[in-house]
Amino acid sequence: MYLEACGQPQLAPLSPEPPYFSSSSRGERYFCSGCGCPLWFRLTDTDRYFIPWTLLELNDVDRRRLILAAEIYTETQPAFWRLTGQYARLSGKEVEEMDSPCQLAH
């Protein structure tokens, strides 16, 4: 699960820019050059960033406050991956057509 960031993720001072690869014509995946763990996904056309929630330093209270706002890129999910609940289910096209970052949270 990813959280959408309002802007480019902040790096520690003096940290080198992380490497990335183009995972599609519309997005780049950034990763740690040391261990290979995913850092974030960036939509290149709109400069929207999605960060795995497990990388955030959240206390127990804040972790429990996280809610699922939407499933995105649902057209590429395997059949067994469908989640249950009352929230938006958006295709990649619908996500990319949102012209403003952080619309999923509003």
- Please state, as a whole number, how many other Cβ atoms lie within 10 Å of the Cβ of residue 62: 10
Q: What per-residue confidence (pLDDT) applies to 101?
A: 55
10/20 Cα distance (integer angstroms): 16
| Total domain count, the chain | 1
Q: What per-residue confidence (pLDDT) applies to 106?
A: 43
Tokens 């990335």, located at residue: 20
φ, ψ (nearest 5 deg) of residue 82: -60, 130
Q: What per-residue confidence (pLDDT) applies to 5?
A: 82
Q: Which domain holds residue 20?
A: 2-105
> Over its length of 106 residues, how does the chain's per-residue pLDDT go in tens digits?
778 887 888 888 888 899 999 988 888 999 998 888 899 999 888 888 988 888 888 899 988 888 777 888 888 888 887 777 788 888 888 887 776 555 555 4
